[in-house]
Amino acid sequence: MEAQTINNSKLSSLEGDLISLSSIAALELDDYITKKTPNFFKALKMLIEKLISSLSNIDLQSNGAKSIINHVDPLTMVVMNRALVSSKLSKQKNTLNEVIVETKEVIIRLNKVIDKPSELTDEELLNMRFFCEELSSKARAYIPSIYMRKNRHPFRK
């Protein structure tokens, strides 16, 4: 029940944070798997919405990667690819189109967790939890450390 209070009080301030959302979604899945809480998937729903919004302007039938690259954040796709590979949901993808297709498949799987979690096996739920954990850790790895940031003086270019 403690995870539920964390979700209710802090989730609104973490709404745009991929690291926090995926981490809390992994906790929600873990709580559901261990039967600590009912299917309370607020962070998982917000994570799905964030992933969908990152892909909302993409049309895979368009004229190749040149038109796609204008509508997608490349860093988000690198993080997704790394999370997919390390969670063993997918093999290494070499093109942006492949990563986008695989991301859409993961979104469908995550929606299935929300809609009908009782129909999924424990292994499928564990795989989705592990994916959320990996997404959080891979996104965290791309945040520049405080030491790498340059101190910018307001009068210097």
Is a pLDDT exceeding 60 seen at residue 94? yes
Instruction: Say how many domains are in the chain.
Output: 1
pLDDT tens digits, 25-39:
999 999 888 887 776
pLDDT band, residue 131 (cuts 50/70/90): very high
Supply the pLDDT for residue 14: 37
Is a pLDDT exceeding 80 seen at residue 21? yes
pLDDT band, residue 71 (cuts 50/70/90): low
Supply the pLDDT for residue 118: 83
Q: How far is CA 71 from CA 50, 61, 143, in A?
A: 15, 14, 22
pTM: 0.73
Q: How many CB atoms lie within 10 A of CB 49?
A: 13
* Position 133 in a domain: yes
* Position 109 in a domain: yes
* Position 146 in a domain: no
Is a pLDDT exceeding 70 seen at residue 8? no
* Position 75 in a domain: yes
- In this structure, which long-range contacts are made by residues 136-140, counting pairs with CB atoms below 8 Å and at least 24 apart in sequence? 136/18, 136/19, 136/20, 136/22, 136/23, 136/26, 138/79, 138/82, 138/83, 138/86, 139/18, 139/19, 139/22, 139/79, 139/83, 140/19
- Domain limits for position 19: 2-141
Q: How many CB atoms lie within 10 A of CB 72?
A: 19
- Average pLDDT (140-146) is 69
* Position 157 in a domain: no
- List, in order, residues 6 or more apart from 54 with CB less than 8 Å away: 72, 73, 76
If DSSP codes are grouped into helix, strand and coil, which group holds residue 16?
coil
- Cα angle: 91, vertex 97, 101; to 5 degrees: 65
pLDDT tens digits, 42-63:
889 998 888 888 776 555 444 4
Highest mean pLDDT among 11-20, 69-78, 135-144: 135-144
Position 113, amino acid: V
- Average pLDDT (143-154) is 62
- Average pLDDT (68-83) is 74
* Position 105 in a domain: yes
* Position 156 in a domain: no
* Position 34 in a domain: yes
Is a pLDDT exceeding 70 seen at residue 74? yes
Structure-token match 């101190």, residue found: 151
